[in-house]
Chains A and B, each alone.
Chain A
Amino acid sequence: MLMCRDLAEIASDYIDGELNRRQSLTVKMHLMMCKDCRTFIGNLRASSNLLSVHSASRPDEQFLRQIDERVAEALNNRGTKGSEPD
């Protein structure tokens, strides 16, 4: 029988759909009967979503232009192989 602790151990696998059908069904059965685990799974899922929203800061345009310049320079040094120069 799946206890709350067992469920907590595989909670991320359940959220990510990494469990097989039988395991997943066992978790679903437990969740139907156990309010605490429903709250736990919900909160763990919310924590996971939190991170997708909290993504890294965007690089600024100046940094991107620096890359453009270095790439352009390297492309020029290399010459144009098999393509017409623009």
Chain B
Amino acid sequence: MSWPVKTIAERTGDLLPGSPWTAALYVLLTILAVTAFMTVTGLVLIYAERKIAAHFQCRLGPMRVGWHGVLQTIADALKLLLKEDIVPRDADALLHILAPVLSFAGMLLVMIALPMSPSLQVADMNIGVLYVTAVSGLGVLGILLGGWSSNNKWSLLGAMRAGAQIISYEVSATLALLVVVLFSGTLQLSGIVQSQEAGWWIWRAHGCGIVAFAIFLIAGTAEINRTPFDLAEGESELTAGFHTEYSGLRFSFFFLSEFLNMFVLAAMTSTLFLGGWMPLHIGHFTVFNGVMDIIPPGLWFTFKTTGMIFLIMWFRWTFPRLRVDQLMRLEWKILLPIGFVNLFVSAACVVTGCYFFAR
């Protein structure tokens, strides 16, 4: 079974020769749909996080607004929209306003490259992996600017911590990502998904996949500033870190991009290591593969991403926060050497063709 990939960008291109207005309308609808998707995903994630966190801690979580509190996040979002939007007097007003937008933009730009199903992907670049690595760096710029422009020592400390942390862990994340690029032989995200038709890279790559998966998950959790790596906003140390001085709509931008970053990380992990929208296949077992193909690819993507999100939430509500020096030691003395060795071993595997179902 082949999987023809058609992106939204390509469909717009097809429409363009006929009537530019139809194409423009199509683009507009796409933008609306993406916005709606992000809002809904963000709200659902926040609700899920609160509920799951509560049950991890023997609590119930929101119960009052709507059935089991399902409308709680909507109520909170409305409240945030109505809050006064404060720019502190001594803050750098332009940068203060720009920072949440940059942070959001970094997340948004990664989002458009995610392959959610063969027919649902906004743009499919032939250098997708490189693009994702590059634009996700915009997020740290937003955090740094937010902390810097607030003119507040806690914000500045949080931002500097976040900067050091994200830049350090980006190295390990990229090394783990390169393992998959080596095995699949392409930088295109849909190409990486297609290359897992015989099986997911996490188990096909003779252990290298599992190591790379673990490194990517740890480094990714650090990059999105979630516990156990939430030093940038550790409330017991820095009140709220880089977004201490933010309120109302701008705070909600930071908040939303934090949660959608979790979605992006989960989606990237499942795309790279768990086959993205590709159903669970095992080599040449045609019958088994056929049965798995009954479930549509979009659902596979949803399952895998949800599973990863759940895992990340589980981490957050179990593990204690690291100290700054422990954080740096974990990256530079443990993850980075393991990542390099893993990269060399997988290069050897690829050269000798020593992995499951090599072509």
Q: Do A and B come from one complex?
A: no
Chain B residues near A (Cβ < 8 Å): none
Which residues of chain A have a CB within 8 Å of any CB of chain B?
Answer: none
